[in-house]
Amino acid sequence: MGQVELDKIKELLKKENVDYKLIKHKRVHTAEESSKVRGIPLSQGVKSLILVTHEKKFVLCLVTGNREVRLKDLKAILNTKDIRLADSEDVLRITGCEVGSVHPFWDLYNEKIEILMDKHVLDNETIDCSAGTFVDSIEMKCEEFIRVLKPRIEEFTIEKL
């Protein structure tokens, strides 16, 4: 876990010729904590959420820290009867990361899964995301983020109140 994932991410970003900044910070578990520690707006942080459909298909959803997933919208987008957050055991098995430290670099996951990115991530020139640990984050240009991840971009969130 942790350092292994971070090393894999650094290798991937180097291979993809991505200019990024690795940020070390105190241990955080939520988007709110991360935003505060990094000194960035909540809307600049991108959360990586693993969800599972009724058909047992895992999906990686990328959303900004100031927004919440609308499961109803995801069900329609994915044409599934039901969808929910994956349990912590499945998240660890699939990603090699604990819940709260999941990174968006799906190429490195144990299972290939679909990646959906909420369109509101595009509101940012620069994004910050987990680097696979609770104490490391990556800052990079949004256009590079999209180039590397090649996500399916849809709208499936609402702003948190």
Distance CA 147, CA 57 (A): 24
**Helix residue ranges, H only, the chain:** 3-15, 31-38, 71-78, 88-95, 142-149
pLDDT at 161: 76
Question: Is a pLDDT exceeding 60 seen at residue 1?
Answer: no
pLDDT tens digits, 18-61: 999 999 999 999 999 999 999 999 999 999 999 999 999 999 99
7: phi then psi, degrees, rounded to nearest 5: -65, -40
Domain around 71:
3-159
Three-state DSSP class for 103?
coil
pLDDT band per the 50, 70, 90 thresholds, residue 112: confident
pLDDT band per the 50, 70, 90 thresholds, residue 67: very high
Which CATH number characterizes residue 55's domain? 3.90.960.10
pTM assigned to the model? 0.94
- Report the domain count for the chain: 1
